[in-house]
Amino acid sequence: MDLLEAMEARHAIRMYTDEPVDADALAALQSEIDACNAESGLHIQMTHDLDDAFLGLKTHYGRFKGVHNAIALIGAPVPPAEGATAGWVKEGTADEAATDPGEITLQEKVGYYGERLALKIVQSGLQTSWSVLDNADAAPDAWWKLGPDEKIVWVLAFGHGARPGGKHRSKPIEELCTLPEGTEMPEWFRRGMDAAMLAPTSLSQQPFLFTLHEDGSVSAAATEGLFAHVGLGCAKYHFEVASGHSVR
Ligand SMILES: Cc1cc2nc3c(=O)[nH]c(=O)nc-3n(C[C@H](O)[C@H](O)[C@H](O)COP(=O)(O)O)c2cc1C
């Protein structure tokens, strides 16, 4: 299964059977995690074959069952690259993760590399779902380790799905991208958008906007939505893989 097929095949699966994940698949995943950590500076960690890899913690929404394997997406807030814009910022609310530029950069990075791992999971013939674990930073006896300033940002459950998933509804493409006036959408840009529209976002809100510029470059920004910057990171990864063009 190539990455584009994995994007089509990926659906959020929240219930898993007790069948263990085989050692080859776990080893392949661990080496992809090592590659992501080396490239990104994140501190992504995996566990497998636990009774409850979510440690009894509440998920932000959605009911999960039989989660024996999981990947913790961990990192420290980092200063954003020069000239980077924060996109959508939810000020004065409890969603503090979206107000600080360092947090925003971390969330987008977690989305980008987490989705790379989610697609690797699907390529291994397994199922996965993104999730938020409430109060994960304070969990006693956690299987993940937090370094100085690090926090656990999001979690990927994975394993053998107990039931199939369905395709999520998408906003129309015109609401998710803009082109210079009078420009027809290039084929490569459409391929990127079709892939971005398959990316998971919290509550399926698709809080992102891709822009094709006059000079042929592409940028993307978060729009209003829950955990928008993580979803933006997921969508950017899909776009880049499918279009062969990088997104700033
Ligand atoms: C950043 C992020 C956070 C998510 N958090 C949760 C969660 O806390 N609970 C849950 O059940 N699903 C969660 N999801 C899964 C989304 O609800 C799901 O991906 C979305 O509805 C699209 O459906 P699909 O993945 O089947 O395409 C999350 C997804 C993302 C990208």
Task: Name all domains of the chain by residue range, CATH numbers in brackets.
Answer: 3-243 (3.40.109.10)
pLDDT of residue 78: 77
How confident is the model over 187-208, as a mean pLDDT? 97
The vertex-152 CA angle with 146 and 155, nearest 5°, equals 130
The pTM (predicted TM-score) of the whole model is 0.93
Angle between the 228-243 and 101-123 helix axes, to the nearest 10 degrees? 50
C-alpha count within 13 angstroms, C-beta hemisphere, residue 71:
32
Query: To the nearest 5 percent, what fractions of the chain are helix, strand and coil?
Result: 35, 20, 45
Q: What percent of the chain has pLDDT over 70?
A: 92
Q: Which residues line ligand 1 at a C-beta cut-off of 6 Å?
A: 11-12, 14, 59-62, 129-132, 154, 165, 168, 200-204, 227, 230-231, 234
Q: Amino acid identity, residue 142?
A: A
Q: Locate the ligand 1 atom nearest the alpha carbon of residue 11 and give its number.
A: 26
For ligand 1, the distance from its centroid to the CA atom of residue 199, given in whole angstroms, is 10
Q: Which residues contact 174 (CB under 8 A, 6 or more apart)?
A: none
For ligand 1, the distance from its centroid to the CA atom of residue 177, given in whole angstroms, is 22
pLDDT digits (tens, 9 = 90+) for 110-141: 999 999 999 999 999 999 999 999 999 888 89
Provide the mean pLDDT of the chain: 92
